[in-house]
Amino acid sequence: MGAHYRENRYTLGTGVLTLTIDANHAGSELFRVAERINPKRSFLFVSTVLGRHIPVRPRDHFAAVDGVVGQIPDRLLEGPVLVMGYAETAVGIGAAVARRISRRRADQPTWYQSTTRHPVDGLSWAGFSEGHSHATAHHVMRPEPGLLRGAPVTLVLVDDETTTGRTFAALIGALREGGLPIGRVLLVTLTDWSGGEAVRAVSEAVPGVPVDAFSLMRGRWGWARDAAAVPPDVPVWSGFVRAPVWGPDRSGAPLLRTPRIAIRMAEADGLDRLADRLRPADRGAPVLVIGTGEHVWGPMLLAERLEQAGAEVRLVATTRSPILQGEVIRHKVTFPDHFGLGVPMYLHNVPSRPEAHVIIMTETDANGVCAELRSHLGRGLIVDGAAQVTEFGTT
């Protein structure tokens, strides 16, 4: 089948973004374009199925994951598989990819681990920098010992989108330097705008290792900056106020903790009991599940289970990513971060006092959900990192 392309242009406040899209690999309504508050890169692909900036139905999220993982031939998933997602945006979708792969190969172990902005004390292992991000430093915790001493792994790197492949290559370099034996690399994204550059960048980082890429949408991007435009001011970070304390026992619980330490994918225990406690009395009432920062896989699992029980559910997560309010980001609230680090956090596309049964999940105690966020939401339930449920707001 020959390639057919279409061109889309997006005029933003600081320049014009041009996307040349391969129509043979074009998903439907997979993204929108918004403006970052970031002089390094002024545009942002806002996924409609990720659940980070736009509330998403769990079934739509998992359908997108199934669509891209379904492209991977079984022969590329033989032997040990380590799936990695990028903090913070791809932590959840990385876990969803790992779960889908593990279900395809139930007789073989599939491990999942995310990069993190919040290293676990005493377990830091590797690190790299993401040049265009608002928060450049990524940390990788020491993986399962068997992964370092065993056979070469098939490494599946997951992100919502790629434009150059340099972030993939940077992680690969850090993992190899740390001693991870890599036999094959699979790049999995919802949208791939690199025009093949991602595969080339990773191939240069791991010479002789096979590299394949899979996505729902492909194409190329071009950016023409308006030299006269003045970029918006970057939000101020007040610096570390206090650091959260993580432990490997906490990090290994996918429902209540972010998988910063490698976990073997399995169905989450205790999910039915928690869903029963949190299900609204009115089965027809809309439910909004809110993840916090890197803690989004457990919230997505809970949202999925509530949806399977008949509720009309949406999931969205708070984020460190500063985006201009506009056509794509209709609602935006800014508040102190959940961990007391001094980092501005945001909740996008959730109106004040939404008409939904609100459930917030946080790795911290309930105090990690600050007064500003509680006031914006009006009322709801908080599920903390110890599975304690706290009600906030008034009727």
Q: How confident is the model at residue 130 (pLDDT cuts 50, 70, 90)?
A: low
Q: How many domains does the chain have?
A: 1
- Whether the link from the prior residue into 88 is cis, omega within 30° of 0, is yes
Q: Is 332 inside a domain boundary?
A: yes
Give me the pLDDT at residue 137, please.
80
Sign of CA dihedral 186, 187, 190, 194: negative
* pLDDT at position 172: 94
Give CA angle at 319 (350, 311), nearest 5°.
Answer: 45
Q: Tell me whether residue 335 is in a domain.
A: yes
- The answer to whether residue 81 is domain-embedded is no
Are 41 and 7 in contact by the 8 Å Cβ rule? The answer is no
Which range, of 20-34, 242-256, 351-365, averages the lowest pLDDT? 242-256
Token pair for residue 272?
């039915």
| pLDDT surpassing 80 at residue 178 | yes
| Per-residue model confidence (pLDDT) at position 10 | 93
Domain that holds residue 366: 268-392
Please indicate, yes or no, if residue 276 is contained in any of the structural domains. yes
Decide if 385 is inside a domain.
yes
pLDDT digits (tens, 9 = 90+) for 327-350: 999 999 999 898 888 889 999 999
From 115, 108, 185, 188, select the one nearest 152 (Cα to Cα): 185
Query: If residue 154 lies in a helix (H) or strand (E), which one and from where to where?
Result: strand 153-162
Instruction: Note whether 216 and 68 are within 8 A (CB).
Output: yes
Evaluate whether residue 320 is within a structural domain: yes
DSSP sequence for 1-26: ----EEEEEEEETTEEEEEEEEGGG-
* Residues comprising the chain, all counted: 395
pLDDT, tens only, 286-319 = 999 999 999 999 999 999 999 998 999 999 999 9
Q: Do residues 389 and 383 touch, judged by C-beta distance below 8 A?
A: yes
pLDDT score of 241: 67
pLDDT-derived band of residue 239, with 50, 70 and 90 as boundaries?
low
Beta bridge partners of 312: 286
Q: Where are the alpha helices (DSSP H) in 160-259?
A: 166-178, 197-205, 248-251
- Which pair of tokens denotes residue 237? 């970070």
pLDDT digits (tens, 9 = 90+) for 68-100: 999 999 999 999 999 999 999 999 999 999 999
In this prediction, residues 22-31 reach a mean pLDDT of: 74
Is 263 part of a structural domain of the chain?
A: no
Decide if 132 is inside a domain: no
For residue 341, what is the domain's CATH number? Answer: 3.40.50
Q: Which long-range contacts (CB under 8 A, 24 or more apart) does 41-46 make?
A: 41/132, 41/223, 42/12, 42/13, 42/14, 42/15, 42/223, 42/225, 42/231, 43/10, 43/12, 43/15, 43/17, 43/223, 44/321, 44/323, 45/160, 45/161, 45/191, 45/193, 46/323, 46/328, 46/329
Look up the pTM and report it.
0.93
